[in-house]
C-alpha cells in the first residue's frame, strides 16, 4: 500500500513523494504518517521563504511594541511568520476586549 503526497513549492512547481506502508501498517496509520511527512516538507519549504532572521526579528518586535505592520513587510512573510503575526493580533484583540 502506498500514499502519494503532492506538495506545491512555487507556482506550477511541486514535489511528489510516495510513502510506502510497512508490513503491519494499517491504512489509518499510513494516512497519519503521510500527514506528518507532508507537514515536515511544508515547513522545510516555507523556511526558505519569508524574511531572514534579522529582518523577521525587527518586523516582529515592531509589531509587538507598536501593534502595526507595514503591508509590504507582511507580504514578504512566509506562512509560519504570518501565523505568528496572526496569533499576536488575536492576543491584542483579546486584551482590548478585557
Q: Which residues pair with 5 in a beta bridge?
A: 17
Are 9 and 29 within one domain? yes
Task: Note down the domain range covering 33.
Answer: 2-47
Are 28 and 59 within one domain? no
Identify the residue with better confidence: 81 or 2: 81
Number of structural domains the chain divides into: 2
Q: Taking residues 76-81, what's their average pLDDT?
A: 86
Q: Return the pLDDT at 21.
A: 83
Q: Chain-centre distance of CA 4, in angstroms? A: 20
Q: Return the pLDDT at 47.
A: 61
Identify the residue with better confidence: 79 or 56: 56
Are 28 and 63 within one domain? no
Are 43 and 57 within one domain? no
pTM of the model: 0.50
Are 62 and 87 within one domain? yes
Identify the residue with better confidence: 4 or 57: 57
Q: Return the pLDDT at 63.
A: 93
Are 59 and 91 within one domain? yes
φ, ψ for residue 78, nearest 5 deg: -85, 180
Amino acid at each position: 500500500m502506498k500514499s502519494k503526497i503532492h506538495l506545491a513549492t512555487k507556482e506550477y512547481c511541486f514535489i511528489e513523494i510516495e510513502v510506502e506502508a510497512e508490513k503491519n501498517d494499517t491504512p489509518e496509520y499510513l494516512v497519519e504518517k503521510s500527514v506528518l511527512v507532508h507537514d515536515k516538507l511544508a515547513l522545510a519549504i516555507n523556511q526558505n521563504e519569508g524574511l531572514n532572521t534579522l529582518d523577521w526579528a525587527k518586523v516582529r518586535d515592531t509589531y509587538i511594541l507598536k501593534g502595526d505592520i507595514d503591508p509590504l513587510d507582511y507580504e514578504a512573510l512566509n506562512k509560519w511568520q504570518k501565523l505568528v503575526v496572526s496569533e499576536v493580533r488575536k492576543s491584542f484583540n483579546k486584551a482590548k476586549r478585557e
